[in-house]
């Protein structure tokens, strides 16, 4: 009974959900990928895999389709001359019109 006030408070809050499905769904690709990391070959390979996962998940969070995003940035990376030129290619900064070239004119 000592926890009853906390339980009532939890049920009264419209922002709290009784499950953590959203969190579990967000980390599912990493859990599945964990078995693949065994074959990364080295710590450097695992670091590279983590960087790719980070780019993919960050593009999703920012409403950018990951496959188009990766195609776009990989085609533009050879043109980058200095570190400041990477900033416009970040998922939250990228001009979504640039993605049209990789989607046949249809943005998603």
pLDDT digits (tens, 9 = 90+) for 17-29: 767 787 788 777 7
Domain for residue 45, yes or no?
no
Domain for residue 80, yes or no?
yes
Domain for residue 101, yes or no?
yes
Domain that holds residue 105: 63-108
Look at the pTM and tell me if it is higher than 0.75.
no
Domain for residue 91, yes or no?
yes
Q: What is the pLDDT of residues 50-64, one digit of tens each?
A: 888 889 889 998 999
Domain for residue 14, yes or no?
no
How many domains does the chain contain in total? 1
Domain for residue 82, yes or no?
yes
Domain for residue 74, yes or no?
yes
Separation of alpha carbons 75 and 52, rounded Å: 16
Domain for residue 68, yes or no?
yes
User: With 0-12 CB in 10 A as exposed, 13-18 as middle and 19+ as buried, what is 69?
Assistant: buried
Q: What is the pLDDT of residues 89-106, one digit of tens each?
A: 999 999 888 888 776 555
């Amino acid at each position: 009974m000592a926890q009853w006030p906390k339980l009532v408070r939890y049920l009264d809050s419209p922002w709290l959900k009784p499950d953590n499905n959203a969190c579990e769904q967000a980390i599912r690709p990493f859990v599945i990928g964990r078995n693949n990391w065994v074959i990364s070959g080295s710590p450097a390979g695992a670091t590279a895999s983590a960087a790719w996962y980070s780019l993919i998940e960050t593009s999703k969070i920012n409403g950018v389709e990951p496959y188009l995003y990766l195609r776009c940035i990989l085609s533009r990376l050879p043109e980058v001359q200095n570190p400041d030129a990477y900033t416009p290619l970040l998922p939250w900064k990228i001009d979504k019109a640039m993605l049209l070239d990789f989607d046949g004119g249809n943005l998603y």
